[in-house]
Structures are given as C-alpha cells and as structure tokens.
Amino acid sequence: MNLPNKLTLLRVFLIPFFLVFIYWKIPFHYCIALLIFSAAAITDALDGSIARKRNLITNFGKFLDPLADKVLVISALAVFVDISEIHVGAVPLIIISAREFMVSGLRLLAADSGIVVAAGIWGKLKTAFTMTAIIFALFWLGVCYDFGFSLPDGLVNAVDDIVIPVLIWVSTLLTIVSGAVYLKGYWHLIDSDK
C-alpha cells in the first residue's frame, strides 16, 4: 500500500478517536479532539498532493479519500448539532450530507460510463473552508470549556451564536455551489430523456 493510501486510512482510523474524545468528558477533551481532527485534516491535504506528485493515484484512493472526507466532516457537524455548547442547527448538516450523496451518485453514474469525476476547485475550496471552520469551532470549545478562561459573556455568546454558525453556513453555501457545479457538469448522465 502506498503512502497516500496509508494517510487516507489513517484519516479513517482517526474518526472514531475524534468522536470518543469530543464526548468523553475528561480534562482537555475538546483540545484532544481538536488535535485529532487537525491531524485528520492534514492527512486530507497531504494524501492527494503526494498521490498526484508521485503518480501514486489508485482506485483504492479514488474510492476511500472522498469517503473519508465526507465521514470526517459529517461526524464533526453531527457532533455540533448534538452538543449544547455550539448552536449550529441540523439544516447545514442535512444540506451538506445531501450534496455528498448527490456527488457520490454522480460519481457512480460517471464510473459506469468510464468517466472519472475529479475534485474541482469548488469542491476543494468547500472542503478547505469547512475543515477550517470546524477546526476554529473545536479551538473555541477548547478555549472556553477545557481551559475555562473567564471570557465576557457577550463574546462567548457572539462566537457561539453568530461567528461559528456563520462559518458553518458559509461552508454550506460553498457546498451548494460546488454541488451545483458538479450537477451542471455531469447533468447529461442523469438526463431524464435518456
């Protein structure tokens, strides 16, 4: 197994640990979850880059890399819906999940036609921004709840109720745009007249 695929597998392996530590109320659990998520995000940035530079692109990587990204992001967003410290509703999670299902379906149809659907610039931008937004939210949780800094209530409420939800909604809008770009580019595969 080549290095990019090992990095992708590492990302998959880190997801359950991220979930364990974000819920397990031990000291500094949010900081540990932040470190785990950040390590997983770094593997996402590295595996594709290494695969392209060293010509190590494999079918295994084409399958597992986007799947690992989707599970990592959806896991984090589901946690944000579940925990009370951050006020992100379920709608962004539903939209982002629906887009991921749609793109996966398009990839299956494209594969049947012998077409490989590569990640476009909008998909990469969406992934990078979403990972950054999640990392910021986890950092904020660590600052407020792991270290227990005595921050003004107004600041805490503004970040919890406005800043983090806005970041997640921007991620959601980028997700919609990237999904629309994929749909437009591969609409011929799902044309109802065929």
Q: Residue 139 falls within a domain, yes or no?
A: yes
How far apart, in whole angstroms, are the C-alpha atoms of residue 130 and residue 24? 24
> With contact defined as beta carbons under 8 Å apart, do 10 and 43 qualify?
yes
Q: Residue 39 falls within a domain, yes or no?
A: yes
Q: Residue 163 falls within a domain, yes or no?
A: yes
pLDDT of residue 135: 96
Q: Residue 165 falls within a domain, yes or no?
A: yes
Tell me which residue range forms the domain holding 122.
3-189
Residue 107: which CATH number?
1.20.120
Q: Residue 40 falls within a domain, yes or no?
A: yes
pLDDT in tens, the chain (194 residues): 788 888 999 999 999 999 999 999 999 999 999 999 999 999 988 887 888 888 877 777 777 888 888 899 999 999 999 988 888 889 999 999 999 888 888 877 777 777 766 667 888 899 899 999 999 999 999 998 888 777 888 888 889 889 999 999 999 999 999 999 888 887 877 766 65
pLDDT of residue 193: 62
Query: Which residues does 156 contact at the CB level (< 8 Å), separation at least 6?
Result: 144
pLDDT of residue 192: 61
Q: Residue 194 falls within a domain, yes or no?
A: no
Q: Residue 74 falls within a domain, yes or no?
A: yes
pLDDT of residue 16: 96
- Our count of domains for the chain comes to 1
pTM of the model: 0.88
